[in-house]
Amino acid sequence: MQHEINPEYLKHWINATPDTSNLRATILFGMLFLIDFLMVAPLYADPYEAIYLQVMIPPIVLLNIWGLWIAIAPYKNQVIAELYMGILGVFMPLGYGVCSIKLFYSVLGFTTPMYAIGLLALTVAGYYALFKSHFQKLASGYYYQARGKNGGSQKYVSLSGLGVFLGNMILGMANGNTVIGILTGLCLLLATMLSLLSLNIHRYVLMKRYPELTIIQRKPVKRTEEA
For residue range 191-202, what is the model confidence (pLDDT) as tens digits?
A: 888 899 999 999
Confirm whether 78 is domain-assigned.
yes
Confirm whether 222 is domain-assigned.
no
The total number of structural domains in the chain stands at 1
Confirm whether 22 is domain-assigned.
yes
Q: How many CA atoms lie within 13 A of 225 on its CB side?
A: 1
Confirm whether 49 is domain-assigned.
yes
Confirm whether 60 is domain-assigned.
yes
Confirm whether 221 is domain-assigned.
no
CA–CA separation, 99 vs 80, rounded Å? 28
- Which domain range does residue 53 map to? 7-213
> Which residues contact residue 166 at a Cβ distance below 8 angstroms, ignoring those fewer than 6 apart?
185
Confirm whether 123 is domain-assigned.
yes
pLDDT in the model for residue 172? 55
Confirm whether 42 is domain-assigned.
yes
Higher pLDDT, 200 or 4: 200
CA–CA separation, 90 vs 165, rounded Å? 19
Report the percentage of the chain scoring pLDDT > 90.
41
For 19-57, the pLDDT digits (tens) are: 888 999 999 999 999 999 988 888 887 788 889 999 999
The answer on pLDDT for 206 being more than 90 is yes
pLDDT in the model for residue 226? 47
For 140-186, the pLDDT digits (tens) are: 888 888 755 545 555 555 545 555 555 555 555 555 566 777 777 77
Give the mean pLDDT of the chain: 83
Model-level pTM?
0.85
